[in-house]
Structure formats: C-alpha cells, structure tokens
Amino acid sequence: MIILLIAAFIGIALFEAPGLVQRKYWRELTAFLLFLVAAFILALLQVLGVKIPNPVKGIEVLVKYFLSLMS
Amino acid sequence: MLEKGKISSSQLTFLIAGFTLGSSLILSPGLVAGHDAWLAVLAGLGSSLLIAFIYTTLAVKFPGKTLVQINDIIFGPYLGKLITIGYLWYFFHLASLVLRNFSDFFVGLIYPETPIIVFLIFITLTCASAVRNGIEVIARTSIILLFVTACATFLTTVLLVKDMEFTNLLPVLDLPLKQFIKASYAATTFPFGETVVFLMVIAFLENTKQAKPSVTLGLILAGILLVVASVRNISVLGVTEPIHTYDSYQAVRLINIGEILTRLEIIVVGNFLAMGFLKISVLYYGTVLGTAQLLNLRSYLPLVLPIGILMVILSILQFESTIENIHFAFDIYPYYVIPFQFGIPLFSLIVAVVRGLPKKAKEGSK
Amino acid sequence: MQKFRKNTVTIIFLLIVMLGITGCWNRRELDTLAFVSGLGIDKAREPGKLQLTAQIIKPGEIKAPEAGGGGMGGSKPYWNISQIGNTVFSTVRAMTLKSNRKLFFPHNEVIIFSQDIAREGVRKYIDFLIRDPEFRRLAWIVVAKDKASEVLETKTELAKLPARNIAELIKARSATSEVSAVNMQEFLTRLMSKTTAPIASLIEVSAKEKTAQLTGTAVFKDDKLVGFLNKTETRGLLWVINEIKSGIITVSCPDGKGKASLEIIQASSKIKPEIKDNDIHITVEVKAEGHLGSQMCLEDLTQIPAWNSLEKRQSEAIRSEVLAALKKARQLNADIFGFGEAVHKKYSRLWKDIEDQWDEFFPNIEVTVKVESKLRRSGLTVKPPRPE
Amino acid sequence: MFGFISQKLRFLHVLLNRERNKQDNHSPELTQATISRNLDQNLKLFKDILGTSNDIIIREFSFGRDRKINAALIFVDGLIEKTTVNQSIIKPLMYDSHLFSLDETNVSSNIDYICRAMLSVGEVQKTGSVEKIIDGCLYGDSVLLVNGAREALVISTKGWESRGITEPKTEAVVRGPREGFTETLRSNTSLLRRKIRNPDFTLEVIKVGKRTRTDVCIAYLKGVVNPRLVEEVKRRLKRIDTDAILESGYIEQFIEDAPFSPFSTIANSEKPDVVAAKILEGRVAILVDGTPMVLTVPMVFIESFQTAEDYYSRPYYATLIRLLRFLAFFITILAPAVYVALTTFHQELIPTNLLITMAAAKEGTPFPAAAEALGMGVIYEILREAGIRLPRPVGSAISIVGALVIGEAAVSAGLIGAPMVIVVAITSISSFVVPSQSDLTAILRVVMTIFAGFMGAFGIIILLLWVLIHLSALRSFGTPYLSPLAPLSFSDLKDVFVRSPWWVMLTRPRTIGWHDPQRQEFKLNPEPPPEKPEE
C-alpha cells in the first residue's frame, strides 16, 4: 500500500514538474511541491493508521460555541 | 491571465443549474419539512434569488475580477487575504463533502464491499481532468449533462405518474412555521446558497452584464427540477419518504410499467454522478484557481492534483460514519455557511458601496 | 514531444491506480449467485427463534426442456432452503452455510409471513427487508393461513416455481377483485401511517391437492395480524380504496327466477370526510360501470324497467359488500380504509386532537355509502336464447 | 528519467535535421539552373538527371523547310497520351513545318512561332528552368527542346492509365450521385468544379513531400469560407517537411489538432457531392494527388452521423435514420460493457426471466464475463480484418468459420454463453452504421469493457465522463469539436438530431467560420397555389 502511494506521488511529480522546470516556473514549482509534500505526509499518516486531527470536528465545536452565544 | 477561456451567458446558466442540482438530487433539500419539502425548496429558491442578487451585483461591480481579487480590493491585502483563505477552505471543504456524499452513495447502495477510496479517487481524477482543461470545458460538458439529467428527471417522473398519490402532498403547510422556516433556510444554504463559488467563475463571462439574468435563470431552472423531483418523491413515497437515506433513488426503484420499464435506477445513478461531477468540478476549480491567485502563480495547473489528493484525504477524514455526516449536514452546516454565503458577500457589497470602490478598483489592480 | 511524455506518464499513472484497485470487490459472476424468488418467515419450534425458507431458482433446470419420461424424477427447478435463527439478517447469512452460492434477493417476488408470526408483529422483520438494498419494494406481502414454508412447497402446474406462481396469482387478481394485492411499499406506507391499518393477501394451501389459493385479506392492527376478511369483505374494502379493476357481481334477476352475472368494467371511489357538530361523518362514494355478462333466467333483461332494476340491484350488491367490509373493520377496530388519513388531509388543524383517540372514534364513525352504478352493454346478444 | 530520455530524443532529432539539410544542399543548384542553347548539351544534362530508366523516351528529330532545325522531345512513356504527342506535336512539326517559313538563324523567335502556330495542344508553357522542365516531364508533360533556343516548351500531354470514375465502395448510397473520386488530382478537381460552377471556387496547389513532390490541393469557396481558416490550413500544410506523401492519411496526421486523441478531427470522404456540400458550408477541402480520399476541415463530432443521403431523402426518414445512427453508435461502444456490468455487478437490474435465461446460459462456462467479452471482441476483429484482406473467393470461408465455429461450436461446447455471442454480433453490426468512427469505437469498446469489468456501471459512467471532457476540450481548426451542442448554438441544432427540411436551413453552420451566414432566402417552403378568387 505504501509502495503504491509512493509510486502514485512520484507519478504526479513526474507529470507536473518537468514542464514547470522547462518553463522556469520556479514559484509554481515551489507551490506545487509544498502542496504535494503536505498531501503525501497526510496520506502516509492515514495509510499508517495515525490519527490526524479532524478539521470538521473543529468547525463543529466552533459553530456550537457561536450558537450557544446566540441563544 | 490564469484562465484563458471565456464562457457565454447561456453556458453560465447551464453550469449554475447543474451545480445547484449537484448533490441535491441524491440528498433532497428541505427534508425537515416532511411532505412540504417541495414548498421549502420553493421558498429556498425565492430567498436564494435575493442572495444571488448580492453575488451578481458584486461580480458586475468588479468585472473580470474573481472573488480573490475582489476581496483584495475591498478589504486590502491583509484582511482580504485572510477572508480569501476562509473562502478557499470553504470551497475545498464543500468539494470534499460532496465527494464524500457521492462515494457514500455508491458504497452504500451499489458496491457495499468496495472500499470508498476507489470512488473518491476516480471521481477526483475525473474532476481533475476537467479542471485542468479549464472553465470553458466544464461549461461545455454542463450543457450536455444538464440536458440528459433534465430528460431523465422528467422521464422518471412520467413513468411514476401511475404510482403517484397527489393527496400525499396534502395537507399543505401542515407543520409549525418555525420548522418550515428552518427547512426553507436549510434549502437556501443547500444547495442554492452554494452558488457563491460562482464569484470565481462569473469573472470569465464574455459579457459581464449578462451575469444577473443568467444566474437567476440557472437557479430557477435548477429550482424547477428540484421541485419536480421533490413532488415526485413525496407523492410516490408518501409517509415513508422521511425514513430513506436517498429518497429519489428509492422512488425511482418503484418504477414498474408492465414489468418491462422497470429497474431503471442505473440511469438515475448515472445522472446523479454526472451532476455531482459538475458540482465538484466547479468547487475544485474555484479552490485551485483561488489558491493560484492567492499565491500569485502564473498557472494553476500544477496545483490541481495535489489539492485533489488533499480533497480525497479530507473526504475520508471528516466523517467516520454517515450518521456523523447527517448530523453535520442538518445541525452544523446551515450555521457554518452563514459568513460565507451571506455575511461576507453582504458586508463586501456594503463596504464597496460606501467606499465607492469600483472606481478605485482600476488603480488597485494596476 | 512534451505532450507525448505527458500522455505516457498519465497512462502509467492510471495503470498504477488500476492495478492498485484491481480488487473487483463486488464482482460476482452469474453462476456464483443463488437467485431467491420467494422468502417465507415462520416461527421456529424453539421459542423466540424464527425459521426462514428461501426458494432458490435453479436456472439450468428451469430452462432445459425436461428430457422425456416425466421430468427426470424429482429434480425440481427450485430448491427450498430453510434455516433457523434469531434475526432475519443473521438467518439469511447463516443460509450460506448450506448453499454454495450467495443468496441474492433482488429478484425476490413474494414475502410470506406465517399466521403465527404475523400475529406476533411483523415490524421487526420488515426492518431488514427495507433497510437492505438487495430487497426491492415491489415484492408482494402475503400472509399464509398456516406455515409459510408449506406455501413454498405447493404444487404448480403452469408455473415452474411456487413463489412465482403466487406472484402471478396476485397479479391476476383483477379478474375477480376479491383478493388484495399489497406490495412492500404499500405495506410500509400503511405501517407507517398513524391510523391506517396494514393489509396483506391471504393464502391458503388446500389440504388435498397441495395447491396454493388466495382466499382474502389479512388485516393488521399496527403491525400485528388481528383478523381476516373473506372474499366479499375484501371486495368491499377494494371498492372503498379504489382498487377495483374488474370482477363479477352476481345478482338475482328482477323476476326472481334465476341469477344474472354483471361484469365490472370500471369503478372509482372517493372518501369524503366531514365534521359536523363535533362528529366525524364519512361519505364513501362509489361509481361503477358494468356489462351484463350472463343471465340464467329467461326474462328479457334489456327492457328498460328490468335494466333499471338490474342497475339498482348492482348498486345494492356493491353497497352490501362495502357494508360487510365496514362491519368487519369496526369489529377488528382497524382502519383499513384510510378514513383517518382522509380526515387528516382535510382537517389538519383538528386532526391533532383526534389523532391519538382514533381507535375510539373509528368504530363509531357514521359512514354513508353512496353507490352510483351503471350498466352499459349487454354483449353480443340482447335477449336470452329462448323461443319467442 | 523522462527528462533524460526526451533529451536523448531531442539530440537525435537535431542530428536528423542536420543530415536532411545536407541532402537538401543539392536542390538550390537545380532550381536555379537553366538550359543552354546547345541541344546536345541539354540532352546530356537531362540524360544525367533523368538517368537511364527505360520509360524515359528522348525522341530526336529535325524539322523546318530543309530539316535543318534539330529538336528533341522528352517524355515519360506511360504518363503521356500517345495520340496527342503523335498527332498534335510530332506531326505538325515534321509534316507541316516545311510549309512555314521558319527563320533558321533566329531560333528563339521560332520557339514562339511553334508555340503559337504549330502545336495544336491546349496547354503549352515556355520555360528555361531545368527544375520546371523536369517537374513537367515527370508529371506527364512532353518537353520540346529546340537547338539554339534558350527556352524549352513544356507541352501538356498528360494522359496516363487511370481508374475510371466508379461508385465509391466505402460510401454507397441508394439515392444520390454514384460517382466517386479517383486517384488523379485533376479529375477530382474537375468533379468538384462541375458541382460548384462559381468563379469564387478556388483551388490552390501546394507541393508537399521532398521526394515525392506530391500535389496537395486546397479547395474552398471564396466569400463563404473564413479567410483565417484558409490561412491556418496553408500554414499547417507548409509546415510539413517530409519525404513522401502517398495518401491523405499522411497529411491528416501532420496537420490534425489532437494527434493523441482517438477521435479523428479531420473528416474524409470519397464522394464529390459530400465534399462539395462541405465546401459550400464554408469548410476547406484538401485533395491529395494519388488518393481518392479527400480531407475536409474543420470537422465536428456530429459529422460522423451525417451522411450524404440524409440531405437527399425526405426529412422525417432522414431524422429517424440519424437518430438510429446515434443509437447504433452507443450500442457499439457500450453493448459489451453494459452486458459485463449487468451480469457481474448489477444482476438486480436484469428482468427476472431474462436473468434466469442468462444464468442458465452462463452455467458451466469457464470464463468470467469480462474475459468472454474481450475474447469475443478480439476474435471478431480478427475475423473482420481477415475478411477484408482475403481474396474474394476465400472470403466466404471466413464467414463459415466465424458462424459455425465461433457461433455454434463454442456455445454448444459450453465455452461461451450464447447471450455473449448475441451481444458481440449486435455490437459488430452496429459498428458498421457509423463507419467514419469505426476505428474509434473499436478502441473505446475495449476500454469500456475493461472498466465495466472492474467497476461495473460506475466505471462506465466515469469513462463516459472522461470521454465527454475530452470531446469538450477538443478543437478542430479552431472549431469546438462538440459544437453545436457544446458550446450550444440553437440555430445549428436544425441539423444535429433532426434533419430539418431544406427550406428551414436558412443559415450555414455558425461554428464553421460563419463568414457568410445566409444560405438561402426566407419563406421558401412549398405552399399550395393561392386559391382562385370566386368568379
């Protein structure tokens, strides 16, 4: 599974990066790599079964807090 | 320019209609109102036309500018960026929400043994390829897909006429006003209010002045289809409607004309997916384009796949079960969207009018 | 060049994804499935347990023309598999211990409850049948007078499968309109209504011939079987709920010397509730049209007075059927006609107060039955074959 | 890794370019060379260039009152019309020349005189360029070299063995003209010119192919066509730098918009009436010498579903048939995939009786449905290919093998379920209804079946969406491929799913240039004659 994941990410990198390098889009390349690495780390954590904090739970708490303020 | 394509006003209409139908064909809006859901949808449509007026006024005031640029102009570079990040999160979250809904639909009903990730990946890949091709291509597909969906909705309705009990719609407005308002409000926020993402798209309209009529027309078109679907479901399913997870699907399963025209649900499933594809694509596009504009990139293409993967991850992460999903949809979502769908657009408009901004806009954007 | 490379990468990437998901989890070839055509639910001998009987189609046997000499001695085109268990779901799964193929329910045509299980209440069984996506809502709900498993073992001549035979019997009901046909969706609708009582077809196995026969309607109160309607009462019920398609009404000839049979060709009905002086009053309006189908008396029925009197007799017959059904319903205190819903739709404000006491209201509601029936045609002949 | 490979390939490309340039160095000399006054010298030059091929005839003779003027006629045997050469060139020169007073000293004026007064041939060109002479000679012209003249006469005597105009086999019609294009460019252009008798109808010739020097002719109707489209076509044609063009398929692959798409974005036809109709709509036709297949651009997707006959038969029937064609297209793409999806994923969607039949047929067959479908598909394609290539008399053997072995024996041996044979048969029959997309459907069908085998209906829908996205993104010479459906153009829908009567089609398709919109006058619909006033 992990191998598959790595292969997929390498595939995506190969898909996008060469064109960016060729056109010298360094800024875009940085942004791309940043997002890709973030995605990779999150995906890896998920595959490994590490609990990642759920942002939606945070939203829920926030909304409930505001609702309690209202009433 | 990040996006070279231009869309015509009729394409915008179809795109909005398709977007609005999106996931509301599987998850019927206004369910809280029971057999008055269709009225809640109508009410939601009415109020959403007002909100859409705010959006389009904003868009027309700043022709050729997307939400990200508008925010920058109105709120200045720092606060504007902050608000933009908020919106980008909202689009991103909404896209992954819809993605999750559709994948759940497939896993729950048709492929119970298949892991959800398969559907997430394939739907995301499809949307990614559309997003990479730009808004023009998404708009072009929307025409054909919407046409097919409209046909399928009417076809299934006609085939179900035999099973319809229109007395199921009676008595009209048989519920406390408060509950009805709540249902209508829910219908406003889902699906109609979600058109706020089109502030990212209207900028590419060939003739910005056409924005208002085409957005209105699109919403009305979707509203009509939703009311038709809602009336169909209620009159066919009657009292049993509220217990179903996916009432449209259940209604269509009851089609049986002489044992020949029966078991048609796959057609409907295809349509659902097509509409979901449109909705996710537009949201996905909004997220990616907005991020590229926020980071001041020259091309949004490299962001498409990484953000898609993040979307898939969030889809898996956000709910552990459909029950959590339903809880979120009914109890949290209607309040969560207040700032995005009503608060900020209204506030932006007020600020823009007070500061007389469209004139300054030219200087601001250099 | 650039584009070519991109395409290669895309293809490789897609291949990786495809290989990764080559699980084909839900793939099932046709020859790995056991198609269930009928499901029977019985009480098991052990208390608290139930016995499920599933009728599985054997596609090979059903298609192959039986090779001469009386059908290969006992190789039936179906296989009834029985299993005892605690819940429907666990029992269905336990059946796979006996069947080499996975039981597949979407083509299930009838669901049969035995009388004793129906008397106990069916809601707990229905839940699985509507929750699981494999079950379709168009399956017929049938109550067996005796054991459900027996019904699935009955002899059939024209149909090859007992379950299918029952489904076809139900579909053919319109010829007489003397049995009710209720599919899962309708049953569920009635079950979920606060006042309307569920009904189901009633089936009996004749002791001698071992054939199945529809004999009327089973009436539920909430989810429990409380009684039966015979054929006449059933037709009375069907008149009221607008389910009459066709049927034969037999009346005596005006001269009283024989019988005439009238064929119903069209019927419709309306339930009109009214609240007068805090009293619920319900008017049932039935409109029917018929043919003169046969006469067994010598009278010339096509004379206007005779014809009119025949029409009147038809109306009377219909009214008496409706009243019979009404009487039985009051006896059982089960609102099989949906009077409650009709009141609800018309008087939604008042309904809130009545709702909970409907059981007390129902047996005492005043019901007026108005029948308006017409005879339209007399077939190929106008007069009976007799010397003038 | 890919960067590395592409670098290597680019290097190779540069190398190739260099070699080509070296070879090309010869040509400038030839293009600038002119002939000399001396006949013997000229003949030597041409013998050097043309080599020793035995089909090149050099006929030396002398004429004039005293037979003092030496001349030579060069032509390629087989490319010329012998009677023209004998009767209209050699005969007047040899027999009649003594009647005229030819000035033997001033030969260059003689050339003019010969050209004006003696040659009874329609097209004569005077040139001194060696290249032009060689070109003409190799294209069926006869070259008359006269001693002492600086210029030669290139006399058009084209007339080679060619196939007559026959009915095209690929596009047979019941109603409509039966003629088809042939391999000769000139007769093809004449077929078009005969249909469009309009001075605005323009033919432009571009020579393509370094070695074959093939004539490629673009045809369009000035005033109707969008000039930018013509420019674009020319630009793309001139880009082509290749050795040989033998068929229009070569051109197609060099100029198409989406070379990686399975959809072809350039239409072709063998019928002059079809091509003429397309030119009249504002398209550009590309005729290539040596092939009857004429290309037209731009192409939109629905063109695959329109046939010439649609426009000749009455509208109701044409509409019906066109809808049928759409249906057949979907059947041929989807039938095996849907069958696989239904039988392996969605058994609940098959009507019970049919399901029992299918299950009975499936009982005991060894392969999964997807493998059956793919295998049968492959066998069918093999049979089809063999049927096309085999000589006619043997061809019928194929159908026997196909019908008996595949159809009967495999089913009765229990290798394949009978329903699958039926599905494959329906699929293959349907594929002939939309012949212009037949290569596409074959590919799409296989991919569809694989997807259906993996993921059932979900796979089919996803793949259909992909195809739709791809189609929406495609363009053919600037025209969106899915137009007029997406982007939607209401006025063009008159010729998509329905074929409106001719008097309704007031405008040309909007998406193709739209240079001169109106096609005909309003209110041309036939009406009964006005009633006579009562007398």
**Could you give the number of structural domains in chain A?**
1
Q: Who among C17, C136, C189 is closest to B238 (CB)?
A: C189
Q: Who among C27, C63, C136 is closest to D356 (CB)?
A: C63
Question: Would you state the pLDDT for residue B61?
Answer: 87
Q: Using one digit for the tens of pLDDT, what is the confidence trace for A17-32?
A: 888 888 888 898 999 9
Alpha helices in D64-184 (DSSP H): 82-83, 91, 107-113, 130-138
Instruction: Give yes or no for A8 touching C (CB within 8 A).
Output: yes
Q: How far is residue C1 from each of residues B62, B206, D1, D11, D133, measured CA to CA in Å?
A: 41, 34, 15, 12, 40
* Per-residue DSSP letter, B67: H
Backbone angles phi, psi at C243, to 5 degrees: -115, 10
Residue range B107-120: mean pLDDT, rounded: 86
Look at D482 and B140 and tell me if their CB atoms are within 8 Å. yes
C210: left (phi over 0), alpha (psi -120 to 50) or beta: left
User: Please, what is the Cα angle at B30 between B27 and B31, to 5 degrees?
Assistant: 65
Judging by DSSP bridges, how do beta strands C140-144 and C110-114 pair with one another?
parallel
DSSP E strand stretches across C49-207: 50-57, 78-85, 102-104, 110-114, 140-144, 199-205
Look at C25 and B239 and tell me if their CB atoms are within 8 Å. no
> Distance (Å, rounded) from C-alpha C129 to C-alpha C143?
16
> Distance (Å, rounded) from C-alpha D263 to C-alpha B195?
35
Strands lying side by side in the sheet with C366-377: C247-252, C259-276, C279-295, C366-377
Q: With contact defined as beta carbons under 8 Å apart, do D175 and D309 qualify?
A: yes
Measured between CA atoms, the residue of chain A closest to residue C2 is: A19
Look at A32 and B302 and tell me if their CB atoms are within 8 Å. yes
Question: Would you state the pLDDT for residue D105?
Answer: 60
Chain A residues interacting with chain B (CB cutoff of 8 angstroms): 12, 15-16, 20, 25, 27-29, 31-32, 35-36, 38-39, 42-43, 46, 52, 54-56, 59-60, 63-64, 66-67
Residue range D443-467: mean pLDDT, rounded: 89
Distance of CA A19 to the CA centre of its chain: 22
Q: Using one digit for the tens of pLDDT, what is the confidence trace for B134-167?
A: 999 999 999 999 988 888 888 888 988 888 888 8
> Distance (Å, rounded) from C-alpha C197 to C-alpha C203?
19
Measured between CA atoms, the residue of chain C closest to residue B109 is: C133
Looking at per-residue confidence, does C335 or B173 come out higher? Answer: C335
Q: Who among B8, B10, B266 is closest to D346 (CB)?
A: B266
Distance of CA D424 to the CA centre of its chain: 30
Q: Which chains touch A (3 or more CB pairs under 8 A)?
A: B, C, D
- ipTM attached to this prediction: 0.90
Q: Who among A4, A15, A22 is closest to C9 (CB)?
A: A15
Q: Using one digit for the tens of pLDDT, what is the confidence trace for D209-255?
A: 888 888 899 999 988 898 889 999 999 999 888 888 999 999 999 99
Looking at per-residue confidence, does C163 or A71 come out higher? Answer: C163
Range of the domain at A27: 2-70
Residue range D440-451: mean pLDDT, rounded: 88
Q: Who among C25, C137, C193 is closest to B111 (CB)?
A: C25
Torsion sign across C-alpha atoms D223, D229, D234, D235? positive
> Distance (Å, rounded) from C-alpha C116 to C-alpha C44?
10
Residue B365 — pLDDT band, cuts 50, 70, 90? Answer: very low
Is residue D475 predicted with pLDDT exceeding 80?
yes
Locate B164 and state its tokens.
Answer: 């319809």
Is residue B358 predicted with pLDDT exceeding 80?
no
Please tell me the least confidently modeled range out of C123-137, D107-121, D157-171. Answer: D107-121
Residue to substitute from B289, B335, B337, B340, interface A, most A β-carbons within 10 A: B335
Q: How far is residue C69 from each of residues B292, C65, C73, C74, C77, measured CA to CA in Å?
A: 80, 11, 9, 12, 16
Locate D484 and state its tokens.
Answer: 């007029």
> Distance (Å, rounded) from C-alpha A47 to C-alpha C69?
63
- pLDDT one digit per residue (tens) for chain C, 388 residues: 455 556 666 666 666 566 555 556 678 888 888 999 999 999 988 888 899 999 999 888 776 554 444 444 457 888 899 999 999 999 998 988 888 888 899 899 999 999 999 998 899 899 999 888 888 888 999 999 888 888 888 888 888 888 888 998 888 888 888 888 899 999 999 998 888 899 999 999 888 888 888 888 999 988 899 999 998 999 999 999 888 888 898 888 888 788 889 999 889 999 999 888 778 889 999 999 988 888 888 888 888 888 898 899 999 999 999 999 999 999 898 889 988 888 888 888 888 888 888 888 888 888 999 999 888 888 888 888 888 7
Is residue B237 predicted with pLDDT exceeding 50?
yes
> Distance (Å, rounded) from C-alpha C106 to C-alpha C137?
9
> Distance (Å, rounded) from C-alpha D271 to C-alpha C203?
71
Residue range D313-318: mean pLDDT, rounded: 91
DSSP E strand stretches across chain C: 33-43, 50-57, 78-85, 102-104, 110-114, 140-144, 199-205, 212-221, 224-229, 247-252, 259-276, 279-295, 366-377
Look at B240 and C23 and tell me if their CB atoms are within 8 Å. no
Report chain B residues whose CB lies below 8 A from the CB of A54.
317-318
Question: Would you state the pLDDT for residue C360?
Answer: 85
> Distance (Å, rounded) from C-alpha D329 to C-alpha D319?
15
Locate C116 and state its tokens.
Answer: 């004793």
Report chain A residues whose CB lies below 8 A from the CB of C17.
8
Question: Would you state the pLDDT for residue C1?
Answer: 46
Is residue B364 predicted with pLDDT exceeding 80?
no
Alpha helices in B208-264 (DSSP H): 211-237, 247-253
Average pLDDT of chain D to the nearest whole number: 84
Report chain D residues whose CB lies below 8 A from the CB of C59.
356-357, 359-360, 363
Locate D50 and state its tokens.
Answer: 């043309």
Question: Would you state the pLDDT for residue D14?
Answer: 63
Q: With contact defined as beta carbons under 8 Å apart, do D296 and D283 qualify?
A: yes
Pseudo-torsion of CA D488, D491, D496, D500, nearest 10°? 160
Is residue D392 predicted with pLDDT exceeding 80?
no
Report chain B residues whose CB lies below 8 A from the CB of D458.
106, 110-111, 119, 122, 273
Backbone angles phi, psi at C217, to 5 degrees: -130, 140
Average pLDDT of chain A to the nearest whole number: 87
Q: Which residues contact B307 (CB under 8 A, 6 or more apart)?
A: A35, A39, B92, B284, B287, B288, B291
Please tell me the least confidently modeled range out of B293-297, C36-40, D149-153, D328-332. Answer: D149-153
Q: Which residues contact D375 (CB under 8 A, 6 or more apart)?
A: D367, D416
Looking at per-residue confidence, does D464 or D525 come out higher? Answer: D464
Question: Would you state the pLDDT for residue C278?
Answer: 77
Look at C348 and B174 and tell me if their CB atoms are within 8 Å. yes
> Distance (Å, rounded) from C-alpha D398 to C-alpha D387?
6
Locate B324 and state its tokens.
Answer: 């959590």
Instruction: Give yes or no for D3 touching A (CB within 8 A).
Output: yes
Question: Would you state the pLDDT for residue D330?
Answer: 93
Look at B277 and D348 and tell me if their CB atoms are within 8 Å. no
DSSP for D320-369? HHHHHHHHHHHHHHHHHHHHHHHHHT-GGGS-HHHHHHHHHHHTT--S-H
Question: Which among C281, C368, C364, C366 is positioned nearest to C319, based on CA atoms?
Answer: C368
Look at B129 and D468 and tell me if their CB atoms are within 8 Å. no
Question: Which among D524, D496, D494 is positioned nearest to D507, based on CA atoms?
Answer: D494
Report chain B residues whose CB lies below 8 A from the CB of C26.
110-114
> Distance (Å, rounded) from C-alpha D78 to C-alpha A33?
67
Chain C residues interacting with chain D (CB cutoff of 8 angstroms): 1-5, 7-9, 18, 21-22, 24, 26-31, 33, 35, 37, 57, 59-60, 62-64, 104, 106-107, 109, 134, 136
Pseudo-torsion of CA D422, D428, D431, D433, nearest 10°? -70
Report chain C residues whose CB lies below 8 A from the CB of D360.
59-60, 62-64
Residue range B88-112: mean pLDDT, rounded: 91
Residue C274 burial (CB count, 10 A): 14
DSSP for D407-440? IIIHHHTTSS-HHHHHHHHHHHHHHTTSGGGHHH
Q: With contact defined as beta carbons under 8 Å apart, do D273 and D195 qualify?
A: yes
* Per-residue DSSP letter, B169: G
> Distance (Å, rounded) from C-alpha A55 to C-alpha B343?
22
CATH number of the domain at B9-344, please?
1.20.1740.10
Look at B298 and A25 and tell me if their CB atoms are within 8 Å. yes
Q: Which chains touch D (3 or more CB pairs under 8 A)?
A: A, B, C
Q: Which residues contact D261 (CB under 8 A, 6 or more apart)?
A: D470, D474
> Distance (Å, rounded) from C-alpha B37 to C-alpha B180?
9
Locate D529 and state its tokens.
Answer: 């004659």
Question: Which among D265, D260, D210 is positioned nearest to D233, based on CA atoms?
Answer: D265
DSSP for C258-291? SEEEEEEEEEEEEEEEEEETTEEEEEEEEEEEEE
Residue to substitute from D461, D466, D491, interface B, most B β-carbons within 10 A: D461
Q: How far is residue C65 from each of residues B105, C77, C148, D281, D359, measured CA to CA in Å?
A: 43, 11, 29, 61, 16
Q: Who among D455, D469, D488 is closest to B137 (CB)?
A: D469
Question: Would you state the pLDDT for residue C65?
Answer: 54
Q: Which CATH number fits domain C233-377: 3.30.300.210, 3.30.565.10, 2.40.37.10, 3.40.50.2300?
A: 3.30.300.210
> Distance (Å, rounded) from C-alpha A37 to C-alpha D265?
39
Backbone angles phi, psi at D144, to 5 degrees: -105, 115
Is residue D143 predicted with pLDDT exceeding 60?
yes
Looking at per-residue confidence, does D38 or B97 come out higher? Answer: B97
What's the count of helices (H) and strands (E) in chain C, helices before strands? Answer: 13, 13
Report chain B residues whose CB lies below 8 A from the CB of A20.
302
> Distance (Å, rounded) from C-alpha C198 to C-alpha C178?
17
> Distance (Å, rounded) from C-alpha D519 to C-alpha D494?
14
Exposure string of D416-443, with b = 16+ CB inside 10 Å and e = fewer, is: bbbbbbebbbbbbebbebbebbeebbbe
Question: Would you state the pLDDT for residue B19?
Answer: 93
Measured between CA atoms, the residue of chain B closest to residue D486 is: B140
DSSP E strand stretches across D232-349: 267-269, 284-288, 294-297
> Distance (Å, rounded) from C-alpha B73 to C-alpha B356?
11
Looking at per-residue confidence, does D404 or C106 come out higher? Answer: C106
Percent of chain D with pLDDT over 90: 21
Looking at per-residue confidence, does B204 or C159 come out higher? Answer: B204
